[in-house]
Amino acid sequence: MDVEFAILGPLEARRDAAQVDLGPFKRRVILAALLVRINNVVPVSSLIEAAWADAPPRTAQKNLQVYVAALRKDLGLRDDLLYVPPGYRLRLPARRLDMVSFTESVKSGRRALRGGDMRTARRLLGDALDLWRGDPLPDLTHVPLVAAEVARLGDLRLTAFEDWAEAELDLGHHARIVDVLTEWARENPFRERLRRCQMLALYRCGRQTEAFAEFEGLRQALTRELGLRPSPVLERLYQAILRGDDDLDPPRPEYDTVAHMSMLPRDLADFTGREQQIGDILDAFEEGRLNPPVVLYGPAGSGKTSLAVHVAHRLRTGFRDGQLFVALRDASGAERTTAEIVAEVLRLTGFGVELPESPEERVATYRAWLAERRFLLVLDDAATPAQVRSLIPGTGNSGVIVTSRRRLDAVESVHHVALGAFDRSEALELLRGLVGDRRVAADPVAARRLLTAAGCSPMTIRLAGARLAARPDLSLAEFTARLADDRLLLNELTVGDRSLRACAASLERDLDPSAHQALRSLGALPDEQFTFGEAAPLLGPDRAQALLDTLEEAQVIEVESRADAVYRIPRWVRLFARESATRERP
């Protein structure tokens, strides 16, 4: 398979998704110089200057030939990297270089903009922007040839972002993009077109005061640093916001009213983090595409249901007939039958005819009913792929979000979104939201230790935050000391009917007897991290690998290093397993 190259971030080359070694530094410099000038002849003198700056050796031209020969051989570029006097030309199609894909998508997006097709424009421009992984070639910007092209790419990216933002605003998606606009405006404070998009989005979101503040901040900065005033375009927008001009109102949505029947649980007011996953889900539901079923999967306590509900609320206006939240298990945790779930959905959505008795005919009726409507279904806590497969509408414009502890690869054409624990910054942000900035700031060391003791999953942080909020007299240091005690953790992280024990018990519920026993055996481990060699005596050498694979698939444990056979079991799961094993002993 051909090697694919990426320069919209650190320089990378991949073959069959595996990273290819690019060799010594000077060879990488020459490759980067050819890639940034893709499909153009780069003179030999320019390549020598790029590799050796002002001090090329006498053998520079011969050395360059050696490097080029190595690139041709090692990266499969024999037919692509040619000598064309006075230099070399590397020719690659868009699929093999992200920069070419980016520029072609931008051109197509702008053509759609000029033609008034805003949906196509936002999709193409969004796809182009998604190719960026960070600053291009960050370790090679000291090379003048590379630096000039990197600067050009940065300008093109910024202009593409502004085109994308204007398309989104024309589609009425101001609420979806206002935060990212603010982030880009902060990084590019004097970019007035970007500021116009930001101010308009803030105004349409009901944040008029913030729009005024952004304008005033820009005006002062321009006067102080450049001796200029804001452009007439921004001045006119400012005056229009002051007057509340009707022309600033967002376009009418595709449907006149918000979906008339929303039966979603409430969205969490302090929902935190998950920006990447939210963007991934929203992209999957992008207008103009067939909506694939989206599966949010991850271990217990990772916040799958909260994320599904949060995104479903953001998608409400796109599903005019309603949004439903459907539990796929009963109160005891047992899997509900397809016939039972289908009957519930049809009853809630107004189907007034008696249902067939046959499960197959009932599913067919369900699909025919939904085919003529536009509902968003949140199917929570899927047990098996078969259960989900029967509930996916066969045709039409309804959307589906599924939560599950496992990947559902046996369900065709789904879009998987993985959830794990929070990173420490997200966990700390949630903790601040639950107990208050002042309390965390008073003892930041204890706050960080709390995250280590409780773990960084949304569930454990919410339980810890609820306990602390209920006990304003309890210091973070004292509470953290309790959580660090293995004998107390499960008791401390219990709030009403929510507890780590209940969550851990639900983990065991989904395991077969052998995996269930294996989990309890792992309770004897001294630490969260363990190796295959440490687990094998507990599980049985002949069965250990199969059991560990089963527990990994069930999201009970995770692999930290497959090469070294290093695993990790969450501390609270290990302690529950130890406690359960102790109770079983006579």
Average pLDDT rounded to a whole number, residues 482-496 = 85
Provide the pLDDT confidence category of residue 252 given band limits of 50, 70 and 90.
Answer: low
Mean pLDDT of the chain: 87
- In the numeric block, which tokens belong to residue 221? 């900065």
Phi, psi of 470 (to 5 degrees): -80, -15
Fold of the domain built from segment(s) 1-160: Arc Repressor Mutant, subunit A (1.10.10)
The pLDDT value given to residue 584: 62
CATH number 1.10.10 given to 501-584: yes
CATH number 1.25.40.10 given to 172-251: yes
**CA dist 15 to 1, 12, 50, 580, Å?**
6, 10, 26, 47
What is the distance between the alpha carbons of residues 373 and 398, in angstroms, rounded to a whole number? 7
Average pLDDT rounded to a whole number, residues 259-267 = 73
Q: Is the pLDDT of residue 414 over 60?
A: yes
**CA dist 456 to 124, 279, 427, 484, 562, Å?**
36, 22, 6, 14, 23
Average pLDDT rounded to a whole number, residues 201-207 = 89
The pLDDT value given to residue 5: 95
- Looking at domain 262-418, its CATH class is alpha beta
Average pLDDT rounded to a whole number, residues 193-200 = 95
Q: Is the pLDDT of residue 287 over 70?
A: no
Q: 526-557 pLDDT, tens per residue?
A: 888 899 989 989 988 889 899 999 888 888 88
Average pLDDT rounded to a whole number, residues 410-422 = 87
Strand partners, 401: 294, 378
Q: 217-242 pLDDT, tens per residue?
A: 999 999 999 899 999 999 999 999 99
Give the total residue count for the chain.
586
Q: Mean pLDDT check: name the lowest of 134-138, 177-181, 324-328, 578-582.
A: 578-582
The pLDDT value given to residue 363: 84
Average pLDDT rounded to a whole number, residues 26-38 = 95
What is the distance between the alpha carbons of residues 12 and 285, in angstroms, rounded to a whole number? 30
Q: 70-102 pLDDT, tens per residue?
A: 999 999 999 999 999 999 999 998 889 999 999
The pLDDT value given to residue 255: 37
The pLDDT value given to residue 353: 65
The pLDDT value given to residue 291: 67
Q: Is the pLDDT of residue 279 over 80?
A: yes
From first CA to last CA, the distance across the chain in angstroms is: 60
Q: How far is CA 135 from the centre of its chain?
A: 19
State what percent of residues in the chain have pLDDT above 90: 37
Q: Which residues contact 217 (CB under 8 A, 6 or more apart)?
A: none
The pLDDT value given to residue 585: 54
Taking phi first (over 0 means left), then psi (-120 to 50 degrees means alpha), and beta for anything else, what does residue 227 get?
left
Q: Is the pLDDT of residue 119 over 50?
A: yes
- In the numeric block, which tokens belong to residue 358? 């046959």
The pLDDT value given to residue 274: 85
Provide the pLDDT confidence category of residue 61 given band limits of 50, 70 and 90.
Answer: very high
The pLDDT value given to residue 102: 94
The pLDDT value given to residue 1: 67
Does pTM surpass 0.75?
Answer: no
**CA dist 1 to 18, 35, 176, Å?**
11, 19, 39
Q: Is the pLDDT of residue 381 over 50?
A: yes
Q: Mean pLDDT check: name the lowest of 44-53, 318-327, 541-550.
A: 318-327
Inter-residue contact 509 to 476 (CB < 8 Å): no
The pLDDT value given to residue 13: 93
Q: Is the pLDDT of residue 523 over 50?
A: yes
The pLDDT value given to residue 510: 79
Q: How far is CA 401 from the centre of its chain?
A: 15
- In the numeric block, which tokens belong to residue 403? 């939560």
Q: Is the pLDDT of residue 301 over 60?
A: yes
Q: Evaluate the CA torsion angle 472, 475, 476, 479 in order and state its sign.
A: negative
Average pLDDT rounded to a whole number, residues 149-169 = 94
Of 489, 504, 497, 500, the closest CA to residue 450 belongs to: 489
Q: Is the pLDDT of residue 253 over 50?
A: no
